[in-house]
Homo-oligomer: A and B are copies of this chain.
Amino acid sequence: MSKGRLIVFSAPSGCGKGTMLAEILKDEGFYLSVSATTRLPREGETDGVNYYFLTKEEFEQKISENRFFEYACYCGNYYGTLLSEVDDKLEEGKNVILEIEVQGAMKIRQLRPDALFVFVIPPSVRELERRLRKRGTETDEVIAKRVAAAVEELKYAPKYDYIIVNDALEDAVSDFRAVIKAESLRTEYAAEILDEVINNA
């Protein structure tokens, strides 16, 4: 069995990333990496599903054991991806999706040049604003801030390998599947197949 691919998946908020991932994960070949954190679980969050909730001591113990793929400290809490979430699943042949913001993604670029970087964008910034407004849970000020943040994040898009516009969910998911399929056909990943074809002469 061949190893899976590591897929770094980013999108500004309001791009429908969650809905897209839910659809993609219906396919057994994919695994969404679960992050570890020292922040307290919120209402409705489950350990091992939303996050692995660790104490500060547990987290630092794992850091000292080099068990993190990457980690960072935000607002006094640790957040990180355990190596076991990535490498074990890749060995099992799963395509591992890391849902991560742009700066974390750039760090992974250095660590794993073989990872696949996919960036999801809205059809337009105007549409993004409309979607955020539609939720009806945020003030104008918060929405303005989120839109400004999204525009900043969009500047990182050229550093990714593929850009998918999420206008219609179905098309965006189908684009994602095409990317994964095509990547598996790239010559560098097909070397094994080629050997088999020739040597099965």
Contact = CB atoms under 8 A, between A and B. Distances in A.
Interface of A: 119, 121-126, 147, 151, 154-155, 157-165, 175, 177-179, 181-183, 185-187, 190-191, 193-194, 196-198, 200-201
Contact of A197 (B165, B183, B186, B196): B165
Contacts of A191: 158
B121 A200 contact: no
A196 B122 CA distance: 11
A196 B183 CA distance: 26
A198 B151 contact: yes
6 contacts: A121-B197, A124-B197, A154-B198, A158-B191, A163-B185, A165-B197
Nearest to A121: B197
Contacts of A193: 121, 163, 165
B157 A187 contact: yes
A125 B185 contact: no
A160 B185 contact: no
